[in-house]
Amino acid sequence: MEYYKWVLAFHIVALMSWMAMLFYLPRLFVYHVEYAQKKEFVEVAKIQEYKLYKYIGLPAFWATLVSGLTMIHLDNQLLSSGGWIYAKFTVLIILTLYSFSLEKYRLALAEGTCTKDGKFFRAYNEVPTALAILIVGYVLTKSFSWAFTLIVIGVFAMVIDVILDGKKQQ
């Protein structure tokens, strides 16, 4: 257990790096599709997207995963600490799928085959925020609350709706 706090510290730093990619990459996608007619800009965006995903996001994802599994190995009581840990794992799986979906969109944008527009990526950019709020809420309170979960999802559904609807009216 003497190493647990060091592993936890590493886990938090890795998570922050992974989340930075999850927050910023969809924003780059917005610029990529909205300025598609500016070829020089798109080429720079492609380089930034590639480096952000491959050099920051993907290694940070793996570091987060390995350090999280190491924490469970060091303190297997975490698995018997209540429903919050399984709620966290569920949201983590969704966040992981989201992360890998960004690579799918990055490749499609690089190949020029992506059919999504800027308003889609603006709305898609809100997903990791909602998931991060859920994960942090579960970890800090060490409890699972359907009310908390539904409120967070509801608020972010409204935000996404406003983003998508607001773009229709412009």
For the stretch 52-61, pLDDT in tens is 999 999 999 9
pLDDT at 164: 84
* pLDDT surpasses 90 at 115: yes
* Domain spans of the chain, in order of start: 4-169
Mean pLDDT of 157-169: 77
pLDDT at 166: 62
For the stretch 5-34, pLDDT in tens is 999 999 999 999 999 999 999 999 999 999
pLDDT at 132: 94
pLDDT at 3: 92
Q: What is the DSSP string of 2-30?
A: TTHHHHHHHHHHHHHHHHHHHHHHHHHHH
pLDDT at 2: 83
Left, alpha or beta for 117 (phi > 0: left; psi -120 to 50: alpha)?
Answer: beta
For the stretch 67-107, pLDDT in tens is 999 999 999 898 888 889 999 999 999 999 999 999 999 99
pLDDT at 97: 96
pLDDT at 82: 83
Q: Under a CB-based contact definition with an 8 Å cutoff, are residues 21 and 57 in contact?
A: yes
* pLDDT surpasses 90 at 146: no
The four Cα atoms 139, 161, 94, 21 give a dihedral, to 10 degrees, of -80
Mean pLDDT of 113-141: 94
